[in-house]
Amino acid sequence: MFWKKAPTPSEKEPPPVSAAPTASDDAALDTVASLLKAFGEHAFDTDNVTALETRAECDGWAKRITVGEGKTGEDGERKAFRRDYAGVRRFFTAQRTHEREFVGRSLGNLREAVHAFARCLTTTLGEDRAADERVGAQLGKLVGAFQSNDFESIRAEAEGIVTVVQEVMAKRSESQKRMLLELGEKISELREELHEVREKAALDQLTQLFNRSALDAHLDRVADLAFLLSSSPCILMIDVDHFKKTNDTFGHLTGDDVLRRVADMLVRNFLRREDFVARYGGEEFVVVIPDSSLHNAELRAERVRQSIEELVINSPKGQVQVTVSIGLACLSSGDTGASWLARADAALYEAKGGGRNCVRVAREAGAAVPSLVPAGGSRPPGPRSLPPASRRLA
């Protein structure tokens, strides 16, 4: 016989049993999910995909990879979960390819502008060289006429040199005007592109506030100038309370909405042009008030805390209650931008450890006191020791 007899049911091999995930498998999945979330966190707007859309897509794939997707059979019965590894590879590859092409096109535009500068200069130098050669040739004829002592020839060549020089000067003037016009247009285009790139580099994509790198540079500038100008700048470090719980309960899209609404409320409360509002990272924000008394800074901190507490944020899973904790520090003698921020951070730690939804003021390095702000305006007396901020409360 040329075929093999089909095995009877009793002879069939049992279906393979999938091995239980090991600790190394879990670690690998967590690593992939973390990479996807980090990729989404640092996404940027391209010509057809926003950074927010990319982040949501990355968060979705991270969840599908770690939790898996359930499949339902024809009988409606729930079957085993599966992880779409091929799908996440396709998504990641396509997204990176698109971003690379977008960046390549953007750099190409800048390169073209630089090449335009080079073409203008090369053309002008070439025209100048040809004109100089023409003037030189005419001068040579004039010298020859002088050597011949022929008056009529000298007169004719002298008139010729005058005519050539006039023509060259007129043409050079037109060429320079044209070159200046072209260069002016290219400079305007470059200035707009570079301004847009600089703004995007300094802004946080989600909240449109200044980002961490812009904040670090601003703090150093304010600290350096404060002592020269005898000003008294203050800094607020603001943390959204229980933000991880908000994300877990209402989802990351609602969490992003909370951050945007808090950012908007900060901008509304710090409208002065000199006030500087930035997203420090995650759910933390920083406000730099360039010149203010401690009393006024406390009042403004308390006002923004109350405004955020009154926010009404609706989500598909219900209303979200948002509160913030605030650490306040005024610049002290000898502070750098980093040490100034660290003291505000220590005051924030005190606020979170003291029950959250409150303001704490850093008096000096290693000390903080409760906020002012009951309606009567009296401040609880005396500083108290601040525990070392070895870790941040969630």
pLDDT digits (tens, 9 = 90+) for 320-369: 999 999 999 999 888 888 999 999 999 999 999 999 999 999 976 544 44
- The answer as to whether 93 is a domain residue is no
Number of domains the chain is built from: 3
Please choose, from the candidates 380, 385, 332, 382, the residue with its C-alpha nearest in 3D space to the C-alpha of residue 358: 380
Same domain, yes or no, for 306 and 377?
A: yes
Go through 268-281 and write b for each residue having 16 or more CB atoms within 10 A of its CB, e for each that does not: ebbeeeebbbbbbe
| Residue 7, pLDDT score | 53
| pLDDT given at position 283 | 95
Residue 279 lies in a domain: yes
Q: Does residue 379 belong to any structural domain of this protein?
A: yes
Q: For position 369, which CATH number holds?
A: 3.30.70.270
CB 304 within 8 A of CB 265: yes
Q: Are residues 194 and 218 in the same domain?
A: no
The pLDDT of residue 100: 82
Each residue of 141-158: pLDDT tens digit?
Answer: 766 666 666 666 666 766
Residue 380 has pLDDT above 70, yes or no: no
Identify the top-confidence range among 115-124, 224-233, 290-299, 358-367.
Answer: 290-299
Active-site choice (283, 284, 298, 302)? 283
- The per-residue pLDDT for range 283-330, each reduced to its tens digit, is 999 999 988 889 999 999 999 999 999 998 999 999 999 999 999 999
Q: Could you tell me if 258 and 337 lie in one domain?
A: yes
The torsion defined by the Cα of 121, 123, 125 and 128, in degrees rounded to 10, comes to: -140
Give yes or no: residues 242 and 274 share one domain.
yes
Q: Which domain holds residue 138?
A: 106-202
pLDDT for 226 beyond 50 = yes
pLDDT at position 264 is: 95
Where residue 240 falls among pLDDT bands split at 50, 70, 90? very high
The whole-chain average pLDDT of the chain stands at 75
Q: Which amino acid is at 244?
A: K
Is residue 59 one of the residues assigned to a domain?
Answer: yes
Residue 320 phi, psi (nearest 5) = -105, 125
Q: Do 146 and 256 belong to one domain?
A: no
Give the pLDDT confidence score for residue 123 in this predicted structure. 57
**How much is the pLDDT for 18?**
42
String of DSSP letters for 339-384: HHHHHHHHHHHHHHHTTSSSEEEEEETTEEEE---STT-----S-E
pLDDT category of residue 12 using cuts at 50, 70 and 90:
very low
In a domain, 12, yes or no: no
Question: Does 334 reside within a domain?
Answer: yes
Name every residue whose Cβ is closer than 8 Å to that of residue 332 and which is 6 or more positions away in sequence.
340, 343, 364, 365
Q: What pLDDT shows up at residue 59?
A: 86
11 belongs to a structural domain: no
* Cα–Cα dist 114/95, whole Å: 29
Active-site residue 283, yes or no?
Answer: yes
Higher pLDDT, 280 or 97: 280
Q: Is the pLDDT reported for residue 381 higher than 80?
A: no
Q: What is the pLDDT at residue 235?
A: 96
Are both 70 and 160 inside the same structural domain? no
3-state class (DSSP) for residue 24: helix
Cα-based distances in Å from 19 to 16, 22, 25, 337: 9, 8, 11, 54
Does 218 lie in the same domain as 198? no
Give the pLDDT score at 99.
81
Residues 360, 227 share a domain: yes
Q: Give yes or no: residues 224 and 356 share one domain.
A: yes
Within this chain, do residues 314 and 335 fall inside the same structural domain, yes or no? Answer: yes
The domain spanning residue 189 has which CATH number?
A: 1.10.287
Q: Is the pLDDT of residue 67 over 70?
A: yes
- Final residue of a structural domain among 202, 229, 246: 202
Does residue 345 sit within a domain? yes
Q: What is the pLDDT of residues 16-61, one digit of tens each?
A: 444 455 667 778 888 888 888 888 888 877 777 888 888 888 888 8
Residue 374: per-residue pLDDT? 39
Residue 313 shares a structural domain with residue 285: yes
**pLDDT computed for residue 372 by the predictor:** 41
What average pLDDT score do residues 232-243 get?
Answer: 95
Predicted pLDDT of residue 119 = 58
Same domain, 246 and 338: yes
